């Protein structure tokens, strides 16, 4: 069996996109199909199209949306590496960037001059985003010069805006009602954290209080993965993300460290001065250090920065303004919060880049094809 698919790069992620007409609508059958196609039971995903890292082992099923004012719906899948499982509860802003370009290139949204607006809805969370794709000259571009921290490769410019992102999962920007609080892990000393839901549910640890800087190398963050997973699992029930008796997962809440700006060197060897950005951020993607920052996490950090006494605003020296510059392992990511209402932004925008990498037919092992049928 083979299925058509398109490989896209969105920001610092790669994602295979599938038209909804080519894959099963039943979630269980779709999961079996994707596990087989990606080789997900193998920790290096050798016998499949998976990239063997969380940022390169992603998928989305895309189709025209029936909702008024929305162009396309997409179901996001984070493929487990070596687990043979798929996580369905989250969203990926980088993949949404690629989906915006895909929607224009595949004719799901007609080109409208030099900039084409694509409104997307994430079926997993209900989040709605707006992608503004560079279509200068009224045509689709397959290459471009727009770059993002984490790669020197250029791509087609896409401005990605999260619309009314606060509380999309839990119903509130601050699910516990507190800007910051102590989170206890067993008998250890409690940590100051901010639990925020904007773009995605996120728990942010005050790095300084935990004996970290927030500007650690990826190797240093990797050593902290077990501890940060424990933070995630302790925060999940407090944020209302678990039903009674349910075991915590490793997708939500997203978890990371936030600290004040300090000089550091990016993963590409570029020096960054403390005055070049506002707060240091180090996040996990599933159970690995994120090489940059997921866009949904960037939205949450920026939204938390607007509020007094969060770990973000404390690290920044006070509540932040319209722009917040995040110091990530890959470099500085600027996030814009606009149209605030009572401290809650109605629009959060990040400038990204995307590129269509390949149109392909993915050959699925017969076992996976039979299970998906």
Residues 216-227 have pLDDT tens digits of 999 999 999 999
Task: Please report which confidence band the pLDDT of residue 166 belongs to, taking 50, 70 and 90 as the band edges.
Answer: very high
User: Would the pLDDT of 369 be above 80?
Assistant: no
User: Would the pLDDT of 38 be above 60?
Assistant: yes
Average pLDDT over residues 240-255: 91
Q: What is the pLDDT of residues 70-103, one digit of tens each?
A: 999 999 999 999 999 999 999 999 999 999 999 9
Task: Please report which confidence band the pLDDT of residue 366 belongs to, taking 50, 70 and 90 as the band edges.
Answer: confident
Which residues have C-beta within 8 Å of that of residue 274, sequence separation ≥ 6?
Answer: 261, 262, 263
Task: Please report which confidence band the pLDDT of residue 146 belongs to, taking 50, 70 and 90 as the band edges.
Answer: very high
Structure-token match 């699992």, residue found = 233
Average pLDDT over residues 250-279: 97
pTM of the model: 0.94
User: Would the pLDDT of 16 be above 60?
Assistant: yes
Q: At what angle do helices 93-105 and 295-305 cross, to 10 degrees?
A: 120
User: Would the pLDDT of 130 be above 60?
Assistant: yes
Alpha carbon 30 to chain centroid distance? 22
Answer yes or no: are the C-beta atoms of 360 and 353 closer than 8 Å.
no
pLDDT cut 70: percent of the chain above it: 98
Q: What is the pLDDT of residues 297-328, one digit of tens each?
A: 999 999 999 999 999 999 999 999 999 999 99
> Which regions of the chain does DSSP assign to beta strands (E)?
2-10, 13-19, 58-64, 72-79, 86-87, 115-122, 128-134, 146-148, 151-163, 181-183, 191-198, 200-206, 254-259, 264-265, 271-272, 279-285, 288-289, 323-328, 331-341, 344-363
d(Cα 266, Cα 36) in Å, to the nearest integer? 36
3-state SS class at 225? helix
Distances (CA, A) of 251 to 88, 96, 200, 232, 367: 9, 17, 10, 9, 28
Residue 318 pairs with which residues in a beta bridge? none
Question: What was the pLDDT predicted at 368?
Answer: 62
Average pLDDT over residues 244-263: 94
């Amino acid at each position: 069996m083979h299925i058509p698919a398109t490989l896209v790069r969105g920001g610092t992620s790669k994602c295979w996109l599938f038209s909804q007409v080519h894959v099963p609508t039943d979630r269980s059958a779709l999961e079996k199909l994707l596990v087989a196609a990606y080789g997900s039971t193998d920790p290096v995903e050798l016998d499949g199209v998976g990239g063997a890292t969380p940022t390169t082992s992603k998928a989305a099923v895309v189709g025209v949306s029936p909702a008024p004012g929305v162009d396309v719906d997409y179901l996001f899948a984070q493929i487990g590496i070596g687990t043979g499982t798929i996580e369905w509860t989250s969203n990926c802003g980088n993949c949404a960037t690629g989906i915006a370009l895909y929607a224009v290139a595949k004719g799901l949204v007609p080109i409208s001059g030099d900039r084409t607006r694509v409104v997307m809805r994430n079926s997993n969370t209900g989040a709605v985003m707006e992608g503004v794709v560079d279509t200068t000259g009224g045509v689709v571009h397959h290459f471009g010069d727009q770059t993002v921290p984490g790669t020197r490769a250029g791509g087609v410019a896409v401005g990605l805006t999260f619309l009314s992102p606060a509380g999309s999962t839990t119903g509130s920007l601050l699910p516990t009602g507190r800007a910051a609080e102590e989170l206890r892990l067993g008998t250890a000393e409690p940590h100051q954290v901010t639990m925020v839901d904007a773009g995605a549910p996120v728990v942010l640890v005050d790095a300084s209080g935990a004996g970290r800087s927030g500007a650690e190398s990826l190797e240093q963050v990797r050593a902290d993965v077990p501890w940060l997973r424990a933070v995630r699992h302790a925060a999940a029930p407090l944020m209302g993300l678990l039903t009674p008796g349910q075991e915590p997962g490793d997708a939500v809440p997203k978890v990371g460290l936030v600290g004040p700006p300090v000089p550091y060197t990016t993963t590409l060897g570029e020096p960054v001065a403390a005055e070049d950005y506002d707060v240091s951020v180090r996040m996990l993607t599933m159970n690995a250090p994120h090489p940059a920052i997921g866009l949904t996490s960037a939205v949450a950090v920026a939204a938390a920065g607007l509020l007094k006494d969060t770990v973000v605003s404390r690290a920044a020296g006070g509540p932040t303004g319209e722009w917040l510059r995040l110091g990530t392992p890959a470099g500085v990511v600027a996030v814009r919060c606009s149209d605030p209402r009572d401290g809650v932004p109605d629009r959060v925008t990040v400038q990204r880049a995307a590129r269509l990498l390949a149109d392909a037919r993915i050959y699925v092992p017969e076992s996976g094809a039979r299970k998906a049928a």
